[in-house]
């Protein structure tokens, strides 16, 4: 017999009674204030969602405070969005204002609805990952601070979603966010023979390389630098493939990705800036360039145009021209599987 129901607890068991009554019967929803959405069911019952931006890393004390608020204002019911916002599900309109006041007291901003800047998705970075090239939560905090005002605005051309990943494994949603920031290596790994021979399984290590750049050498391995694309996969399976390099490791910025099917099809992000120095604790170069891209989009995009839609309309040439970002040979994708994506006509748009 097939065993079922082996995943997490069924969410239906935790639905608020009001949502259970109206499950799948929602008639309208509209934003009635910054960070507040009113949903009305077919029976006429209203539900108010109060959305607060929250840090991804939170102590048990913070969790208790949030639960206390949920108990006080929404009978204990809240949910988390995919961008780690907290949504309080309020059934009595008069409780919205005191809830927002409490959230502000706790330092949790209320906003992120409609055409606004959403909370940044970021990977755990150095919290517990050995592959991360950058301190992703630190970059996210610096960027949140820089773009804070946009979280409360509902007048951007469209939604603005930003994601940060510490390495090319891309925990997060960099490939389908309007702006993605990725930590990158720029040198092949150095082989530490002692660690490789004592700790690593050589066939697994060789198989981990997507470009077949690793080959056996005695009891250890060697790397063909011409084939290496600095992905760090080998380091993930074997700590003897030392790839971290403070001098060359960097950040890169990617633009134009989206996951939704709304208006235009989903799209992958593309490289905008291949190298920015890794300068903690505030990463000024990365913040400056991200703000530059956001502000250029704000100034030129039409209503409803996500970052990628805007770039497709004005052309990539114009994007580089308007943002002042230099176009270099690093922007040309010469990977073997990229041939079908090449432009094959002479019709450039300016
Ligand atoms: Fe292969 Fe990536 Fe390791 Fe380079 S960094 S050797 S491409 S697995």
Same domain, 181 and 197: no
User: 212, 215, 231: which to mutate for ligand 1, most atoms within 8 A of CB?
Assistant: 231
**Phi, then psi, of 150 in degrees rounded to 5:** -70, -15
pLDDT in tens, 239-292: 999 999 999 999 999 999 999 898 889 999 999 999 999 999 999 999 999 999
Helix, coil or strand: residue 184:
strand
Same domain, 95 and 206: no
pLDDT > 90? residue 169 = no
Instruction: Tell me: do 65 and 160 sit in the same domain.
Output: no
Ligand 1 test: best mutation among 229, 237, 238, most atoms within 8 Å of CB? 229
pLDDT value for 51: 96
| Strand duo 214-217 + 86-90: pairing | unpaired
- What is the spatial distance between Cα 318 and Cα 326, in angstroms, rounded to a whole number? 11
82 and 157 inside one domain? no
Q: Where a domain ends, among 94, 111, 128?
A: 111
Give the pLDDT confidence of 184-217 residue by residue, as tens digits. 999 999 999 999 999 999 999 999 999 999 999 9
CATH number at residue 234: 3.30.70.20
Q: What is the pLDDT of residue 48?
A: 97
Residue having the nearest C-alpha atom to atom 2 of ligand 1? 231
**Among 242, 270, 286, where does a domain finish?**
242
Tokens of 163: 């994601």
Nearest residue by C-alpha to atom 1 in ligand 1 = 209
One domain for residues 19 and 168: no
Cα 230 from chain centroid (whole Å): 21
Yes or no: say if 296 and 185 are a contact pair by the CB < 8 Å rule. no
Query: Residue 349 domain-assigned?
Result: no
Do 135 and 216 belong to one domain? no
Instruction: Please give the residue range of the domain that contains residue 26.
Output: 11-111
In a domain, 154, yes or no: yes
Burial (0-12, 13-18, 19+ Cβ within 10 Å), 173: buried
Q: Using a 6 Å cutoff on CB, does residue 131 contact ligand 1?
A: no
* Total domains in the fold of the chain: 3
Out of 129-133, 144-148, 170-174, least confident range? 170-174
Q: How many whole angstroms from 300 Cα to the centroid of ligand 1?
A: 40
Are 39 and 182 members of one domain?
no
Q: What is the CATH number of the domain that holds 69?
A: 3.30.70.3340
pLDDT of residue 23 exceeding 90 = yes
Is 348 within a domain? no
Same domain, 99 and 227: no
Ligand 1 centroid to Cα of residue 202, in Å, is 14
> Is residue 162 included in any domain, yes or no?
yes
pLDDT in tens, 293-307: 999 999 999 999 999
236 domain-assigned? yes
Last residue of a domain, which of 111, 143, 177?
Answer: 111
Residue among 54, 296, 287 at smallest CA distance from 156:
296
pLDDT (0 to 100) of residue 5 = 76
Q: Are residues 181 and 301 in the same domain?
A: yes
Same-domain check for residues 166 and 21: no
| Residue 345, domain member (yes or no) | no
Q: Is the pLDDT of residue 154 over 90?
A: no
């Amino acid at each position: 017999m097939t065993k079922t129901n082996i995943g997490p607890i069924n969410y239906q068991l935790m639905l608020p009674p009001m949502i259970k009554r109206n499950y799948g019967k929602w008639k309208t929803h509209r934003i009635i204030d910054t960070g507040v959405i009113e949903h009305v069911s077919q029976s006429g019952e209203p539900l108010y969602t109060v959305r607060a931006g929250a840090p991804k890393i939170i102590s048990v004390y913070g969790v208790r405070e949030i639960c206390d608020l949920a108990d006080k204002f929404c009978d204990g019911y809240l949910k988390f969005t995919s961008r780690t916002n907290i949504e309080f599900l309020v059934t009595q309109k008069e409780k919205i204002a005191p809830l927002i006041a409490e959230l502000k007291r706790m330092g949790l901003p209320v906003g992120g609805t409609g055409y606004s800047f959403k909370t940044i998705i970021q990977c755990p970075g150095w919290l517990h990952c050995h592959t991360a090239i950058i301190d992703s939560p630190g970059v996210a905090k610096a960027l949140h601070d820089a773009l804070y005002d946009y979280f409360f605005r509902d007048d951007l051309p469209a939604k603005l979603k930003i994601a940060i990943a510490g390495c090319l494994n891309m925990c997060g949603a960099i490939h389908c966010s309007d702006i993605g920031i990725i930590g990158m290596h720029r040198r092949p790994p150095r082989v530490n023979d002692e660690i490789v021979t004592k700790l690593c399984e050589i066939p697994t290590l060789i198989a981990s390389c997507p470009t077949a750049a690793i080959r056996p050498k005695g009891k250890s391995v060697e790397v063909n630098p011409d084939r290496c694309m600095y992905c760090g996969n080998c380091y993930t399976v074997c700590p003897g493939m030392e790839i971290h390099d403070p001098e060359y490791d960097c950040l890169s910025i990617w633009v134009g990705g989206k996951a939704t099917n709304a208006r235009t099809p989903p799209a992958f992000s593309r490289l905008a800036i291949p190298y920015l120095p890794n300068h903690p604790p505030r990463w000024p170069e990365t913040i400056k360039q991200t703000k530059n891209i956001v502000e250029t989009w704000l100034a030129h995009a039409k209503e409803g145009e996500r970052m990628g839609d805007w770039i497709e309309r004005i052309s990539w040439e114009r994007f580089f021209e308007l943002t002042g970002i230099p176009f270099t040979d690093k922007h040309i994708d010469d990977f073997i599987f990229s041939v079908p994506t090449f432009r094959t006509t002479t019709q450039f748009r300016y």
